[in-house]
Structure 1
Amino acid sequence: MKKVVLFPVTFCLMLLMTAFRPAAEIELIKKRVLSERVEILIPKGFEVMSEQQMDFNYARAQSRPSVIYTNSKEASISFTYTDNTADQDMIDMYAGNFYKTYSKQFKEAKWFGNGVKEIAGRKVGYLELMKPELGHEVYQLIFFTDVEGKLLMCTFTCADRQKPEWETVAKQIMNSIKANG
């Protein structure tokens, strides 16, 4: 009798557990970007955005990322290798300045975190927020560090409704960054 009662309970628990798992696990693969200066995990299936698409997307922007990996507009990770001088001692300063700038520029943003953490023995600054963009909300995890004396900015972006699926992946990407000093 006990076996008959346990089977339906166990079956229901298994159904509930599979219902709360993501529909598809997102596989990450190692990539070297910016002329081999940086090693980072990128979601499998993400491709480099074409020059034409980058020109279109950043036609009015003051600056354009050096490279963008995307999966057809659902999510993207961009890398901007700036001309700004940077070293490990400056990452805290950049983190504070970026937070102040983004807070003023995006007053309606919802903040999830910001600061500096150590990844692979190096300081990496980050901002994590949900901000308005072109009439809807986007989730962004922006992280940055120094690479060969210049500031590297990385931005993971997806639509607000996709945050539950991509937030953990975005943090895995950030935590995988290995840059030349």
Structure 2
Amino acid sequence: MERADEKILKILNEMKDKTREPLSITDGPIKIGDQYYEFEEASFFNQRLFVQLPKDFIDMEEKHKKIKYPHEQRPEIIKTEGTGAINFTFSQLDEELSDYWVKELTNGMRDVIKKTNPSNVFYTTEVESVNGKQIGYFEFKGSAIDGFIYNIMYFLAVDGKTLMGTFTCHYKDQPQWRDIAFQVIRSIQTAEIREQEVLP
């Protein structure tokens, strides 16, 4: 027979489960650090790429782009929380790519960045099947003027061309944002796959 204190503990645990913060970006507002963020689908490149992003994130201002990304080949799309500390970027490159070559491109880009800056610390390198597409990614810690930066760089083929995405935040914010950033990457869908799904 279940004891009274066990029953109370069971009820408390059930209540805790009901009031627990959502862990998925598709389950409504989610707490990251001290703030709540609501995610919604955004589309880019003439509605060829779809991805879940925080509703409050805005396009980075041109003057801030030049400071944050001083090289001329800066990302086409930079979505930021406002201060420039947390960014999702997207670039369509004029290089042909198929799913078959995603792994080779991912490893090649990781090796280039390793050689360019040997002080970077690299973590996971992986290729995943996401909504009918192969997405290759690697994550690493790099240094910047204001401290260490956590980076995820990823690649996929969109309409036969290379799509490069990145996520960056201060390394101290990595524990709060890493899982969220990967949820964003795994939310990616392409128009070509959606069009195949509606074909008879």
Which residue of 183, 186, 190 corresponds with 1:179?
190
SS of the residue aligned with 1:93?
Answer: helix
Moved more, 105-114 or 119-128: 105-114
RMSD: 2.4
Match of 2:81 in 1: 71
In structure 1, C-alpha distance between the alignment counterparts of 2:191 and 2:112, rounded to whole Å: 27
Deviations, residues 18-57 of structure 1 (Å, cap 9, x unaligned): 9xx9534433211111221100011221011233432444
> Conserved in 1, the CA contact under 8 Å of 2:141 and 2:171?
yes
1:81 matched to 2:81? The reply is no
Which residue of 15, 20, 27 corresponds with 2:38?
27
Give the unaligned 5+ runs of structure 1: none
> Conserved in 2, the CA contact under 8 Å of 1:37 and 1:147?
yes
TM-score of the superposed pair, with normalisation by structure 1: 0.82
Quote how far apart the aligned CAs of 1:175 are: 0.6
* AA of the residue aligned to 1:85: E
Quote how far apart the aligned CAs of 1:146 are: 0.9
TM-score of the superposed pair, with normalisation by structure 2: 0.74
Which residue of 68, 71, 78 corresponds with 1:61?
71
Give the unaligned 5+ runs of structure 2: 22-31, 193-200
Shift >4 Å, 4+ stretches:
none
Match of 2:179 in 1: 168
In structure 2, C-alpha distance between the alignment counterparts of 1:112 and 1:82, rounded to whole Å: 25
In structure 2, C-alpha distance between the alignment counterparts of 1:94 and 1:169, rounded to whole Å: 24
Q: Report % sequence identity.
A: 22
> Conserved in 2, the CA contact under 8 Å of 1:42 and 1:173?
yes
Which residue of 106, 112, 122 corresponds with 1:95?
106
SS of the residue aligned with 1:107?
Answer: coil
Quote how far apart the aligned CAs of 1:131 are: 1.0
